[in-house]
Structure 1
Amino acid sequence: MGISSLAQETMCYMGQYLVFSEAEDVINNLTGAGVNAKQIERVCHKYGQWIEDADNAVIKNLVYKEYESGKADELHYVSVDGAMYLTREESWKESKVAVNS
């Protein structure tokens, strides 16, 4: 028996915001579905792999272009939500970047 697309979407959504075991508790309490943390983890990893494969295909097919050095100072649109980086002092730390256009 497969997992419905709605259940997969719910698992991915909750798996992004909570530890998988906590996501299990929330989903089961709200829906009575009976999923477990390992299922949520597997679904999240599968979707993540699909996204990574799609990104790698875009990169491989040279969809991204390099700009000539003379155009490097021109205004470009950039959007980044945030990134995690490892610091010696504080372990992992989140960095937020503003949108530039």
Structure 2
Amino acid sequence: MSITLWKPETDIVLHQALGKCAEECAELSQALARCLIQGFHEAEPVTHKLNRTHLFEEVADFKAALRWLFDVLDEPFKGESERERRKFDGFKHWQKMLESDQADRAEASE
């Protein structure tokens, strides 16, 4: 086994920007899970906040943390990268496959 010396990030601003981005990512993950478990159009049982509202708030918080991280890293946010375009195109292709499969299943059940 090879053990290496790991040390925390020493740049306090970068450390905090990375931490905040991770925290917001986790909160977004929780909001996504709630939408899956309870339904996107449903409301949180105690606060009655719509799950969709909570999700979009967490998306905004994550985007803000990500923009701050890019700023701290002196990597100006340049909009959509080639990787993002390829990933999005892949998701849209998958969406078409899912929709086609759903239509085929609906047709088969008639």
TM-score in terms of structure 1 length? 0.36
Q: Which structure: greater strand fraction?
A: 1
Report which structure shows greater RCO (CA 8 Å, sep ≥6): 2
Q: Which structure: greater helix fraction?
A: 2
